[in-house]
Structure 1
Amino acid sequence: MNYERYYVCDLLNGEGVRVTLFVTGCPHACPGCHNPSTWDRKAGRPFTAEVRERLLELCATHDGLSLSGGDPLHPANRKAVEELCRQFRVRYPDKDIWLWTGYRHEEVADLEVLRFVDVLVDGRYRRDLPTSKPWRGSDNQRLIRLRR
């Protein structure tokens, strides 16, 4: 898996102060996407064990971890995202994980990684469906609380 960037003090991608990782690789290529630079899964930098550890350390003083992109549930990203979420959950059982995906929940509900995710924002971005709902880019996207 590759990633484009991460924010160490994010107030926009979920509740509270968060560490937010933007992975690369997205099969959806939604017209009007806010992050088209993340579509190519070979773009960005390799997500190494050192990067994962750095993100986990940063989460110690934050409310949670947010995963965006690109698409964290792109098939090429699933293994690394699952391992990051698994290690986060062991280290911070009382903090939460938010994940944005262009897939519908019904398409990915059986993925192991979702056992660790607290909040899933699902559905492709649709610029023809503007919204004022928090944490969503378009009105078709759902905020689904999976845990707690």
Structure 2
Amino acid sequence: MKYAQIRHYDISNGLGIRTSVFFTGCTHNCYNCFNKEYQDFSYGKEFTQKEIDLIIKYIKEDEVSGLTLLGGEPLQQNVDEMCNFLSQVRKASDDVNKKIWIYSGYTYEEILEDSEKTKIISYCDILVDGRYVEILKNLRLKFRGSTNQRIIDIQQSLKMGKIIDISDYI
């Protein structure tokens, strides 16, 4: 698993001040992707325990609201490695308000059709789903690039058995 960058303090990719990890590798190839170079699976540095420990240190800080995963495509990473990482983050976060956001080009419905992807999102709280679609671009949207993308409460959606879209409440 590789990553391009870790942002200690990020205010663009979720509510509050967040620590964000940009993983590399993506096959969606969205037109005008804002991280085109991150589509290459060989780009970036190896994601190791050293990075996990650093991220855990960052998210324990009072001013950090949580963790955001994006890329590239977080759901095209090694499932065991990603789940190990997220499990450690969950265990280390004493504050239940430390939410984990994940951005994916897959829709929630596509994710649920794949047990490996579902396993990864089960550790997360919020999903921004759907591929970026240039003709649906809207600069007024919070935390999304195009109007087809949704902000979904993962845990409530899994619990209720239906999509809980919180896009209008963020």
Give the TM-score of the pair, scaled to structure 1.
0.94
Q: Does 1:114 align with 2:92?
A: no
Q: CA RMSD of the aligned region, Å?
A: 1.3
Q: Which amino acid aligns with 1:81?
A: M
- Per-residue CA distance 1:61-100 (angstroms, 9 max, x = gap): 11100000000001x3433222221111111151110000
Q: Does 1:55 align with 2:55?
A: yes
- Look up the match of 1:29: 29
- Look up the match of 1:13: 13
Is contact 1:10-1:20 (8 Å) kept? yes
> How is 1:1-148 mapped onto 2 (pairs within 5 angstroms)?
1-61=1-61, 62-74=64-76, 76-93=77-94, 94=96, 95-109=98-112, 110=115, 111-131=118-138, 132-147=140-155
Cα distance in 2 for residues equivalent to 1:96 and 1:80: 20
Give the TM-score of the pair, scaled to structure 2.
0.82
Secondary structure of the 1:137 match is coil
Instruction: Measure how far apart 1:52 and its partner are.
Output: 1.1
Instruction: Measure how far apart 1:44 and its partner are.
Output: 0.4
Q: Percent identity?
A: 35
Q: Which amino acid aligns with 1:145?
A: D
Cα distance in 1 for residues equivalent to 2:151 and 2:84: 23
Instruction: Measure how far apart 1:146 and its partner are.
Output: 1.3
Cα distance in 2 for residues equivalent to 1:78 and 1:34: 24
- Look up the match of 2:167: none
Higher percent of residues as helix: 2
Cα distance in 1 for residues equivalent to 2:38 and 2:32: 13
Q: Which runs of 5 or more residues in structure 2 are unaligned?
A: 157-170
In our comparison, the structure showing a higher alpha carbon Rg is 2
Q: Mean alpha-carbon deviation: is it higher for 45-54 or for 105-114?
A: 105-114
Is contact 1:72-1:78 (8 Å) kept? no
Runs of 4+ displaced beyond 6 Å: none
Query: 1:43 and 1:55, CA in 2 relative to 1: closer, same or farther beyond 3 A?
Result: same
Q: Which amino acid aligns with 1:73?
A: L
